[in-house]
Amino acid sequence: MSGTSLDGVDAVLADFADGKTAILAALHVPFDADLREELAALTHPGADEIDRAGALGNRLAAVYADAVSRALGQAGTSATAVRAIGCHGQTVRHRPERGYTLQIGNAALLAELTGIAVVADFRSRDIAAGGQGAPLVPAFHVRAFSAPDEVRAVLNLGGIANVTILRREGPPLGFDTGPGNCLMDLWAARHLGLPCDHGGAWARGGTANADLLERMLAEQYFNASPPKSTGRELFGPDWLERHLHPGLDPRDVQATLLELTAASAARAILEHADATQRVIACGGGTQNLALMQRLSQRLAPRPVEPSDRHGLPAQLVEATAFAWLAQQALEGRAGNLPSVTGAKGPRNLGAIYQR
């Protein structure tokens, strides 16, 4: 899994035998600065996009193959023992309103490099069926975190944040709530020269600007009804620049961006599932202690706790979800939730590249 945070690849070797989820190996392979910069640039219109996307897809396939090799080595497992690689690819355009989504990563090359079947392009079939193509992880959240006696929200704090509402009755709900880490990471890179604000320490030293926060929360996306999904196409540098004005302290801007993530995510949960009793958080944003604290304050008295307490490390949930979605594809089962994406019905997701 490599997501909108653009920090690198999370890889797991997962065994789903007997209805359980066993993680046999797990690791993170960071993107080098050059690859990260080029991928970020490709999420916005620019010159020679087709050639750049093709070349970057090949580079990604090599990074993915390296991650697979490391995971197999960590577990002492041979490639022949693995049924398939579930590869989400790197999203460079997500335009469900125009009927398409694009993830690069050259799954055919990945199959050649690893000698393992690859399942990729998970989102397109859901979009073809009238859905948003995202988020797709809620189907796995149902499997991993449901509790019959408790209404739960699973909040994934990636580059973009998404929530799954696990209700006692009725199908689950789910949608992207807005920016997760993407704007905070962008601002930290610009002013600190770092990929992120580690632990939220820089933001914690600032003060959220109430006027700026109000302008940002007036974004139409936050008030749109689900099903809905978003990405860097909206919440990118241009969006941020439109809301800023001269004289703002950079640290206060960072504090405001943190508050934007906390406020939009908490509001989404409270507006669409006020009966939520527990919030299970996953994704890289769980490492931002200041963000987790603000979420806890905004969602009190509901506990906000990392998914580690429920059997899956927070950093590994998405990668494990796409391993599971690959299994669903191989076995001819649906991978989407129409109540989440808005698709016409359940669909088997993914294109399969045989070993």
For residue 123, what is the DSSP state?
S
Query: What pLDDT was estimated at residue 316?
Result: 97
Query: What pLDDT was estimated at residue 317?
Result: 98
Number of independent structural domains in the chain:
2
Query: What pLDDT was estimated at residue 99?
Result: 97
Pair (89, 200) in one structural domain: no
Pair (116, 146) in one structural domain: no
Pair (288, 150) in one structural domain: yes
The enclosing H or E element of 268 equals helix 250-272
> Does 2 reside within a domain?
no
- Owning domain of residue 206: 138-314
For residue 231, what is the DSSP state?
-
Structural tokens at position 95: 């335009």
Query: What pLDDT was estimated at residue 298?
Result: 98
Percentages helix, strand, coil for the chain (3-state, rounded to 5) are: 45, 20, 35
DSSP assignment of 319-343: HHHHHHHHHHHHTT-----HHHH--
Structural tokens at position 277: 């009793």
Residue with tokens 């080029």: 38
Q: What is the CATH number of the domain that holds 170?
A: 3.30.420.40
Query: What pLDDT was estimated at residue 68?
Result: 98
The enclosing H or E element of 8 equals strand 8-15
Beta bridge partners of 100: 95
Pair (321, 253) in one structural domain: no
pTM > 0.75: yes
> Does 279 reside within a domain?
yes
Question: What tens digit of pLDDT does each residue of 202-221 get?
Answer: 999 999 999 999 999 999 99
Q: What sign has the CA pseudo-torsion 274, 275, 278, 284?
A: negative
Query: What pLDDT was estimated at residue 310?
Result: 97
Pair (201, 295) in one structural domain: yes
Which residue numbers in the chain have pLDDT < 70? none
Query: What pLDDT was estimated at residue 282?
Result: 98
- Widest CA span of the chain, in angstroms? 59
Pair (326, 247) in one structural domain: no
Query: What pLDDT was estimated at residue 162?
Result: 97
